[in-house]
Amino acid sequence: MNFLSPVAFFFAAAIPVVILFYLLKRKRIVRLVSSTLLWQKFLAETQASAPFQKLRHNWLLILQILLLILAILALSRPYFSGKTSGGRLEVVILDASASMQSADEAPTRFEKARGEALKLVDAMHDNDQMVVLQAGANTEVKQSATREKAALRRALQACKAADTPTRLKEALKLAETLIQNNTAAEIHLFSDGAVTAMEEFENSGLPLVFHPVGQRANNLGITTLDVRANPENAAQRAVFTSVVNYSTNQQQSQLEFRLDGELVEVKSLTFAPRETSPQVFLAAQARDGIISVRLTTQDDLAVDNQAAIVSLLPQPVKVLLVTPGNHLLARALRVAPHVNLSVSAALTDPAAGFDVVVLDNLEPTVWPNANVLAFHTANTNWFAGWSQLETPAIVDWKATHPLLRFVNFDNVQVNKALAVQTPTWAASIVDAPQTALILAGELGRQRIVWVGFDLLESSWPLRISFPIFIANAVEWLNPAAINASQLSVQAGNPFRLALTENVDSAQVKFPDGTVRACEVNAARGELVFGDTSRQGTYRLTAGANEVVFCVNLLDGNESDTTPKAELNFGKYAKVSGTTVRRASLEIWRWIAAGALAVLMFEWWYYHRRTA
C-alpha cells in the first residue's frame, strides 16, 4: 500500500490529546447526547478529587481513536499499486476522424474515447509523463510531454472530432519518434479502428495499446459523387453517386437530388446488408451550379449522408497536335468530346493559345507552356537521361487513375520504348518490368502525360482502349476540367486557387455562415486555404475572384462504422483491443464511507431506543 498524501499522518499527534482528555477527572455537567450507552461508566462520577485518574477500559475512547485513525488514513489517500511502475512516457493518440462522430456510443464514440483517455490521465503516477496527439486528416500535438494532469485534461478537452478521414500512419510515425530509445514508453490509441492496413509498422515493434470504441454498425453512406456530360444528350448533366449500406440489416432510405438547392428528383431505395448501390441522375443545366445529394435516413453517422459538387458547364478544348503525319492519333483526338483540333508539323511558339499540346514522335524547337501529352519524346527537364528498350511487356497499370478509366492493356504489344527513371514530379500508371511506359504528373503548374513508345510501333491504336485513353487524357489536361476538379475537396485537404491578379487579402465564408480572413502569399501567385475540417459549401472572395468550392467526406473506410477489435499491421502482425485498467486504486473513499456508516448506525440506534 502507498499513500498519495503521507503528510496527513502528522494528524496522528492528536491521538495522545484524546487519551489525555480521558485521564482528566471532570465535574459532572449535564449534556444532551444522542445515546447514553457509551457513557454509563461516567454517570457515577459526581465529583473530581484529583485532576487525573487511572485510564480504564472504555469503548467510547476506543471508538474515538478508531474514527480518528480512519480520518487520518482517508486524508493520506492510500492506494494499492498495480503491476506498472512510475517513470513511464505515455503517448495518447485520440482519433478525431469522422467515424468517431457515430452515435452508437453515448453521446458519441469520440466522447467515449475522450472519457477513457481522461481515466488514463487519472491513473498516472507522479513521475509519469504523457503526450496528447489528435489524429485526423493531420496529426496535431495537443500537449507535449508533461507530468501536469491539469494540462493534460485541458488538452484532451480541447480535442474536437472533425469530418475528415483518419491518417493514422502520420500519428503513429510521430509517436514512434517521441518514444525512440525509451523502453518504458507506451502508445495508447483510442479509436474505432476505421483505418487501412499499416504494413510499414509490421516489424517496428511498437508498444501500442489499442483501446477500441464502438458498439455496432448502423450506417448508410455516400462514398462517391461525380458529374459529367450526358453522353446521350449534350444538353444534360449526368450525376453519378454510390450509396453503401454498411449495416448487417436491410435498410430503406430516400435519396434526394438537388440543383442549386432546388429539389429535382427523389429516389426510394432499399439496400441489402453490405450492399453498394450506384445511382445516376440526369438533369438539364443552363448555367454553372452546385449539385447535391442527400440521404433522408436517420443512422448512427450523419456526416456521410450528404455530399455536394460544383458542376461547371463543359467548354471547348483547344488542342494542337504536332505530328509528322499520325492520322490515327488525329482521328482519336477529333472524336474526343468538346475538342477543337488543330494540326501542325512543328511548334514554334511556346504560348500558342492552346489548352493542350500533343507532341507525337518529335522534339519541338521550343517546348509549350500549355499542358502536354507527349508520345515517344522526352525533355531533359523531365528526365536525367533515357535509353532504348526492345519489346517491353506491359505487366501492370493503375486502373484507378483518371487517365485509365475504362482503359485495358490486355493484348497490347509494344515494339520499342524509351527507358527512363520515374522522376519525382510524376507517377507511373503503366509499367513494364524494366521501366515505366506511361507517366503522369505536374511539373510547376504544367500537367504532363508522357507515353514512352511510338504509337505506330505498337498495336494500341487498334484497340478500343486507345480512343478512351485519349478522351481521358484531354479531360485530365483540360485547364477548365482541372479548375472544376479543384472545386471539390475531400475534408482535411487544402483548397488551392491560382491568383490571376495581385490580391492583398481574402476571406472565406464557412458552411455555418461564419466569415474568416485568409492569408494571401502574393509572391507564390497562389492562395492556399487549409481549414476544411467541416463538410459543406465554402465561398471564397479574393479581390475580383469569387469562388465556390465543396468539401465532402466521401471515404468508405470512415463510413464503414463496424467496430474493429484489432488493428492489422501486415500479414503477421496485429494489435488486439484492450480496455483501460487503473494503475492504482485509491481506497480513502471506502474508509470515509466506513466512518459515515458508524455515525449512521449510532443515529439509528439512538432513535430505536427512544422510539
- Report whether pLDDT(571) > 70: no
Q: Are strands 186-191 and 89-95 parallel, antiparallel or unpaired?
A: parallel
Please report the pLDDT score of residue 424 as a whole number.
93
How does DSSP classify residue 562?
A: P
Q: What is the mean pLDDT of residues 556-564?
A: 91
Q: DSSP letters along 67-94, please?
A: HHHHHHHHHH-EEEE-S--S--EEEEEE
Residue pair 191/169 in contact (Cβ under 8 Å)? The answer is no
Please report the pLDDT score of residue 47 as a whole number.
46
Q: What is the mean pLDDT of residues 170-190?
A: 91
Please report the pLDDT score of residue 80 as a whole number.
66
Q: What is the mean pLDDT of residues 590-595?
A: 79
Taking only the tens place, the pLDDT of each residue in 414-433 is 999 999 999 999 999 999 99
The strand pairing partners of 322, in sequence order, are 344, 359
pLDDT band for position 33 (cuts 50, 70, 90) = low
Please report the pLDDT score of residue 371 as a whole number.
94
* pTM for the structure as a whole: 0.72
Look at the alpha carbons of 518, 522, 526, 528 in this order and tell me if their dihedral is positive or negative: negative
Taking only the tens place, the pLDDT of each residue in 425-460 is 999 999 999 999 999 999 988 999 999 999 999 999
Range in 35-44, 217-226, 545-554 the model is least confident about: 35-44
Range in 114-118, 128-132, 541-545 the model is least confident about: 541-545
> For residues 244-279, b (16+ Cβ closer than 10 Å) or e, as one string?
bbbbeeebebebbbbbeeeeeeeeebebeeeeebeb
Residue 346 belongs to what H/E stretch?
Answer: none
Sheet strand arrangement including 186-191: 139-146, 129-135, 89-95, 186-191, 208-212
Please report the pLDDT score of residue 55 as a whole number.
66
Q: What is the mean pLDDT of residues 522-544?
A: 87
| Residue ranges of domains in the chain, CATH in brackets | 2-80+596-610 (no CATH), 89-215+563-582 (3.40.50.410), 220-314+554-559 (2.60.40.10), 317-483 (3.40.50.880)
- Report whether pLDDT(85) > 60: no
Q: What is the mean pLDDT of residues 291-316?
A: 93
